[in-house]
Amino acid sequence: MKTITVEQVGPTRWITLNRPDKLNAINYDMVNELRAELNSAAVDDNTKVLVLTANGRAFSSGYDLSELAEDEISGALRWHGILEDDVSLTMQLWSFPKPTIAAVHGWVLAGGCELAMACDMIIATDKAKFGEPEVKYGSGPATLLMPFVIGQKKTNELLFTGDTIDAEEALRIGLINKVVTEETLHDEVRALIKKIAPTPLSTLRLTKIGLIRAQEATGIRQAISANMDVSAILNGSDSPEQKEFDDIVRKEGLKQALAWRDARFEESLGDKGKGKDK
């Protein structure tokens, strides 16, 4: 079964993540299918705007940890190859030559959060939760976009703690553009598209080039490339906690592994951790 669905509605290409039973966890197949669809939409002159959204209870929980654990990946070199594919997808979306909108709900985590941040605009429901919790797994973000989106200090806090934030906080810090209800999410996206689509395609393309070059002048590509190298070393370090997590995934399933992971952090926080987002 395809991991994404695609619909062309007038000038808009709607790409929908379609692994709802897995909270749209990004697996190898989804990476390949998304890359192919982005290539197709980029050269289609009938497409002026691209929307990335998702079916089910969440936008995306991030990369599929079950698939990664089953592969028993070891060593920085192998990790570098996998991360290179992941980063390449995110940056392909980031540099897509036309305006992009992420329409998100539920969990928007890790690699899923990176895909959303790679879009030019994000509209989120009031129930959306954002975060980069990789540190709790002994890992880090593959594509270090966050400091370029929200600034260094808040990024430091979120990446060191692995905390999640709600939609209102995401709006306050500039991570997203608008908070809407679940029922009006796609209507709000369509209203935004109506403001963009009348502009000539050539104008949209050249405006996007200008925006991309402005960000490139800050060193974003060099920073992301350097972070990918560090992440490969980090993931290949095979810490005892990382090994234990993967072992539980293989023997008992991802749900039990996540419960074990979260329990470790709850114990370290004691009473202070009660009621906090994981």
Catalytic residues: 114, 134
The Cα-based distances of 267 to 131, 249, 272 in angstroms read 21, 21, 10
Contact 23, 56 (CB under 8 A): yes
Contact 139, 115 (CB under 8 A): no
Could you give phi then psi for residue 275, rounded to 5 degrees? 85, -5
Residue 167: other Cβ atoms inside 10 A: 24
- d(CA 141, CA 227) in angstroms, rounded, equals 8
Cross-strand pairs, 15:
6, 52
Strand order in the sheet with 12-17: 4-9, 12-17, 49-54, 100-104, 121-125, 178-180
**Close Cβ partners of 30 (under 8 Å, ≥ 6 residues apart):** 3, 4, 17, 19
- d(CA 268, CA 271) in angstroms, rounded, equals 9
